[in-house]
């Protein structure tokens, strides 16, 4: 039996466009394969979120399924396995299932409903779907297929501190006589997850002695990035094929073929972060209808890395860097920013903000203490810059890229309507220490980011001789405490037991908690860690608590 893995990039809600991808793939590969497999909810793209509450979307999906049935009649020897939301036909519950449809010869031969519906982190599937009541196998082309959908394959005691579900669908499929296990997924990227997935599917194949095929969505949809890395494993869990990550790929395999130990070679983690951010940035622009970006260049590492990623995602002709020196900007920062722009080949403009800032001081005199630089006047400068970038955005159709990193966003070391202005926050889930890793990775082949930008002490340059660590703990310390508190869920006592200074831990935790109102107003940020600010973290603003 020949099986084709179709690792493709759908657009959420674009049922007709996603249907065309299915039909085009069928027409191209029908002569050489028995079954083509697409990813979870492929016809609507993942995650469709509350678009599933629109009857028109469900009607369009059902119409698309009927068109697939009609097209499949012309290719009676090739089956399709495609994900789609389908009505349950019941008067109770949500009324929808997350389905895998096996189509061949103009018929739906089999429908497997997703049985395990995740509700943690970014997932909220019980909001829209009813779980499948049972798991069954189906005979097709001489094989007994055990079909599962994403979370159905993630029941593994090694991964969870407590049981989330009462049953293991993969075990049930094996017990019912499956000769081939297939999982269709929309599994978002996060650092290190690729290797966890491989180990999980390797264990399934080895535990049940069955070949395992996994087809994952690829592409960026809002904050989420899907890395693909679809694969086929033999019954020993060895890879028969592993598709390249972070891009569309189609491959035909024989699941009965022996695997090749060593075929799977994961990228180093910082390389995967780079690939994910470039893909997420590119797709956000493409799918939202933008083509050009504008980035404020401060001479710091965050704006430099953001500009590099934008240039790689969009092309040098589609990125504008803007220098906006203030009375406190160093000549080195201006020089370094111009050198960066030259290295990248991007257009650059310089719009000094000193005259505008002085006009603010004259207007505020008598209302604020303008003779002394405090937080209010520092933020005035940041907001002037944000307004200038938004003016360019309005006039020329650029999308403003916010350049703040996760460490700053965590403790509120950022300015609402200033440096937080923008349509997309590229580094919002990248801690400062990782930003430096990215900068060095971007320079791995040739110097794109001037060395001076990477080696100088970070500074907002909003007052004389300012340094970030005048206000913040060293980033090496801040990032560790942030990770323990946000990702690991440690309390103040837990973190101090690890040897961190209690006063520093207390400051970081309180700064994170009291900055929630800022983050609620931030631009969408690309998710690359297991706990990002945004759709996967729901914390009340008007609350009083202390951990």
Would you call 32 a catalytic residue per the annotation? Answer: no
The pLDDT, as a whole number, for residue 197 is 95
Q: Which of 99, 150, 307, 308 is catalytic?
A: 150
Listed range (28-42, 194-208, 384-398, 533-547) with the worst mean pLDDT: 533-547
**Superfamily covering domain 274-471:** HUPs (3.40.50.620)
- Stretch 458-472: mean pLDDT: 76
For residue 438, CA distances in Å to 16, 375, 414, 443 come to 38, 30, 21, 9
378 is catalytic: no
The per-residue pLDDT for range 500-535, each reduced to its tens digit, is 999 999 999 999 999 999 999 999 999 999 999 998
Q: pTM score, two decimals?
A: 0.95
- One fold for 3-266 and 274-471: no
pLDDT tens column, 344-376: 999 999 999 999 999 999 999 999 988 888 899
> Checking DSSP bridges between strand 143-149 and strand 180-185, what pairing results, if any?
parallel
SS3 2: coil
Q: How confident is the model at residue 489 (pLDDT cuts 50, 70, 90)?
A: very high
How far, CA to CA in Å, does 202 sit from each of 206, 207, 234, 236, 269? 6, 8, 9, 8, 20
What share of the chain in percent tops pLDDT 90? 88
Confidence band of 76 (pLDDT split at 50, 70, 90):
very high
CATH of domain 3-266: 3.60.110.10
Point out the least confidently predicted range of 257-261, 290-294, 330-334. Answer: 330-334
Could you report the per-residue pLDDT of 146-169, keeping only the tens digit for each? 999 999 999 877 777 677 788 899
Closest by alpha carbon to 406, among 448, 366, 372, 438? 438
What's the pLDDT at 343?
A: 97
Cβ pair 263, 229 in contact under 8 A: no
Instruction: Quote the pLDDT of residue 530.
Output: 92
Domain ranges of the chain: 3-266, 274-471
pLDDT beyond 90 at 457: no
pLDDT at position 447 is: 96
Q: Note if 342 is an active site residue.
A: no
Instruction: Out of 21, 114, 193, 339, pick the active-site residue.
Output: 114
Catalytic residue, chosen from 21, 40, 308, 406, is 40
What is the structure's pLDDT at 174?
97
- pLDDT bin (cut points 50, 70, 90) of residue 206 is very high
DSSP string for residues in 38-93: --TTTTT-S--GGGGG-HHHHHHHHHHHHHHHHHHTT-TT-EEEEEEEEE---SSS
Judge whether 151 and 116 are in contact, CB under 8 Å.
yes
* 314, pLDDT greater than 90: yes
Strand partners, 525: 425
């Amino acid at each position: 039996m020949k099986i084709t893995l179709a690792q493709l990039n759908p657009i959420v809600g674009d049922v007709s466009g996603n249907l065309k991808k299915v039909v085009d793939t069928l027409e191209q590969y029908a002569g050489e394969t028995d079954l083509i497999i697409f990813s979870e909810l492929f016809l609507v793209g993942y995650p469709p979120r509350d678009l599933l509450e629109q009857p028109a979307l469900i009607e369009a999906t059902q119409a698309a399924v009927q068109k697939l049935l009609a097209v499949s009649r012309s290719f009676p020897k090739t089956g399709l396995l495609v994900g789609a939301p389908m009505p349950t036909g019941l008067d109770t519950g949500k009324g929808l299932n997350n389905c895998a449809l096996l189509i061949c010869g103009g018929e739906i031969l089999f429908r497997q409903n997703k049985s395990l519906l995740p509700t943690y982190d970014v997932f909220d599937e019980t909001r829209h779907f009813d779980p499948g009541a049972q798991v069954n196998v189906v005979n097709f082309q001489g094989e007994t297929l055990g079909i599962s959908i994403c979370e159905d394959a993630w029941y593994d005691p090694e991964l969870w501190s407590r049981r989330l579900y009462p049953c293991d669908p993969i075990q049930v499929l094996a017990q019912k006589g499956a000769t081939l296990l297939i999982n269709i997924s929309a599994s978002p990227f996060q650092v290190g997850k690729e290797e966890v997935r491989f180990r999980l599917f390797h264990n399934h194949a080895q535990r049940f002695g069955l070949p395992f095929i996994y087809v994952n969505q690829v592409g960026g949809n809002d904050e989420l990035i899907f890395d693909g890395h679809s694969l086929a494993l033999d019954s020993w869990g060895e890879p028969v094929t592993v598709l390249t990550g972070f891009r569309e790929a189609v491959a035909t395999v024989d699941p009965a073929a022996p695997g090749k130990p060593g075929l799977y070679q994961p990228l180093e983690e910082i390389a995967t972060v780079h690939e994910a951010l470039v893909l997420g940035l590119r797709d956000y622009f493409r799918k939202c209808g933008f083509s050009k970006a504008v980035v404020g260049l401060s001479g710091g590492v965050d704006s430099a890395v953001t500009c590099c990623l934008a240039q790689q995602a969009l092309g040098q002709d589609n990125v504008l860097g803007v220098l906006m020196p203030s009375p406190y900007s160093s000549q080195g920062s201006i020089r370094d920013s111009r050198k960066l722009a030259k290295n990248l080949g991007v257009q650059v403009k310089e719009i000094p903000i000193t005259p505008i800032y002085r006009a603010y001081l004259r207007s505020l005199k008598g209302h604020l203490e303008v003779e002394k630089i405090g937080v209010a006047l520092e933020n005035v400068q940041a907001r002037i810059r944000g307004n200038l970038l938004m003016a360019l955005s309005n006039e020329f159709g650029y999308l403003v890229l916010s350049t703040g990193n996760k460490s700053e966003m965590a403790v509120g070391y950022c300015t609402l309507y200033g440096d937080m202005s923008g349509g997309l926050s590229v580094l919002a889930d990248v801690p400062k220490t990782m930003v430096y890793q990215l900068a060095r990775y971007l320079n791995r082949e040739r110097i794109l980011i001037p060395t001076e930008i990477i080696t100088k002490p970070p500074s907002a340059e909003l007052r004389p001789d300012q340094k970030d660590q005048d206000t913040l703990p060293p980033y090496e310390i801040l990032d560790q405490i942030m990770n323990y508190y946000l990702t690991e869920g440690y309390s103040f006592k837990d973190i101090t037991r690890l040897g961190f200074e209690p006063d520093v831990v207390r400051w970081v935790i309180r700064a994170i908690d009291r900055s929630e109102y800022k983050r609620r107003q931030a631009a969408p940020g690309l998710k690359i860690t297991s706990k990002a600010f945004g759709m996967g973290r729901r914390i009340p603003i008007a609350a009083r608590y202390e951990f």
